[in-house]
Amino acid sequence: MMAGRGGAASPPRPDEGAPVPDIVVDYELLNTVAQKARELRTQVQQAREGRPEHTSSEEVGRVAATAIRTYYAVWKDSFKRSEEKLEKLGNLYEGVAKGWADWDFRLAGGASKQAASLDADLYATQKEIWDEWQRLVAAGHADPNDPRAPKPPPERPSSWTTNDGRGNTTTTTYEYGADGKPTKITTTITTSSGLSSTDTTNYRPDGTYDSTAKDVYGNTTTTTGQSDTTESGNERTTKDDFTSKTVTPDGKESTTTGSSTSVYNTATGNRDTRTSYTTNGPGEDGEERTVTGTVHTTVDRSGNEVVTTIEVNPDGSGTKTVETNGRTEEWTSDSADDDSGWEREED
């Protein structure tokens, strides 16, 4: 479950993770290129602002000294333009890298929660079988030495770490309650070029939870909420009410309250989530604003994800953003409150 830009998200329950789709984007390379572009920009800036060496007539002669000074004078503006282009290039690559990394990290976090849920379900089933066998043995209805006897449930993993061999790691740690269900899940992702995110969620038996997350942009979000899950046939429905507070690296704060309903089909692996929310906080212009929004997220068993977000301003105008497997399309409208009049942002 996620909210739109400027909003926050309630963390998915452990049984609602999504498999990772077969899409490969080397955002590590993009982030490295961004860093190299900024390093080159600094070098060009130093060359432009530095005093040319060996420009005295005594050192190199009058003609050579004049030529060197003329060169720097003529090319000074070109150096400045190069700096600006390199800065824009760095920003572009960094933005794309962080965008893809943010999407990938969210999927990894969801997969970690799903793995915890599957492990908890397996443990509960094995423990139930083992406890029943022990009861039969104690009552004298089963032979404790029967080679076909069930085995006790294995210890559940408390953590695991994956490493792709290039310095990029994902570490997830788990804590469990007496019923075998996860009570705390922490996922930390770091890359060799410095991109990172972390998410810690605490689950309680009464359905309440709290979480703290820091994304690749440096935003810190704290969330509290109440989640209730019911099952009918192959459908597992989770209803969620949440409040989130997000603080940006420069100290700007926004608060989001909302509710969501997520339906997960255990037979098909498809998940459909609808979220409505209200966010109070600074907009892109820094002015305080109140935005209402809706998010519709669909994920199939192959991990293909489509997220449609509509945000409406007090005057009825707004934006629509559709993210399809990390690719983003945006529209604007003066009548977003009626979900009509949409125009492509680049039009």
Residue 31 pLDDT exceeds 80? no
Q: Which residue, among 217, 215, 193, 164, has the nearest Cα to 36 in the 3D structure? A: 193
- Return the pLDDT at 272: 93
Residue that wins the pLDDT comparison between 232 and 300:
232
What's the pLDDT at 194? 79
Does 85 or 343 have the greater pLDDT score?
Answer: 343
20 falls within a domain: yes
- pLDDT at residue 287 greater than cutoff 50: yes
Consecutive H or E run containing 122: helix 62-138
d(CA 83, CA 129): 68
- Domain for residue 90, yes or no? no
For residue 287, tell me if it sits in a domain. Answer: yes
Is the model's pLDDT at 222 over the cut of 70?
Answer: yes
Residue 133 and residue 149 in contact, taking contact as beta carbons nearer than 8 Å: yes
Total domain count, the chain: 1
Closest CA to 331 of 4, 1, 8, 92: 4
- How far apart (Å, rounded) are the C-alpha atoms in residues 59 and 114? 72
Is 181 a member of any domain?
yes
Whole-number pLDDT of residue 243: 95
Answer yes or no: is 178 within a domain.
yes
Q: 179 versus 257: which is more confidently predicted?
A: 257
User: Between 191 and 298, where is the model more confident?
Assistant: 298
**Main-chain phi, psi angles of 167, to 5 degrees:** 90, 5
Give the pLDDT of residue 42: 67
- The count of other CB atoms within 10 Å of the CB of residue 142 is 16
Torsion of CA 185, 322, 6, 317, to 10 degrees: -150
Which pTM value belongs to this model?
0.62
Q: Which long-range contacts (CB under 8 A, 24 or more apart) does 225-230 make?
A: 225/10, 227/10, 227/13, 229/13, 229/15
Could you read off the pLDDT of 229-268 as tens digits, one per residue? 898 988 989 899 999 999 999 999 999 999 999 998 888 8
Using alpha carbons, list the distances in angstroms from residue 261 to 6, 121, 193, 303: 21, 22, 37, 19
**Tokens 């099952």, located at residue:** 231
In this prediction, residues 219-236 reach a mean pLDDT of 91
Helix (H) or strand (E) holding 161: strand 159-163
Range of the domain at 110: 14-28+95-344
Q: Note whether residue 255 is domain-resident.
A: yes
Residue 339: inside a domain, yes or no? yes
HSE-CB at 166 with a 13 A cutoff on CA atoms is: 9
Q: Is residue 48 part of a domain?
A: no
Long-range contacts for 176-182 (Cβ within 8 Å, ≥24 apart)?
Answer: 176/120, 177/205, 179/124, 179/205, 180/120, 180/123, 180/124, 180/127, 180/156, 181/14, 181/120, 181/124, 182/14, 182/113, 182/116, 182/117, 182/120
Q: How far apart are the first and last CA of the chain?
A: 30
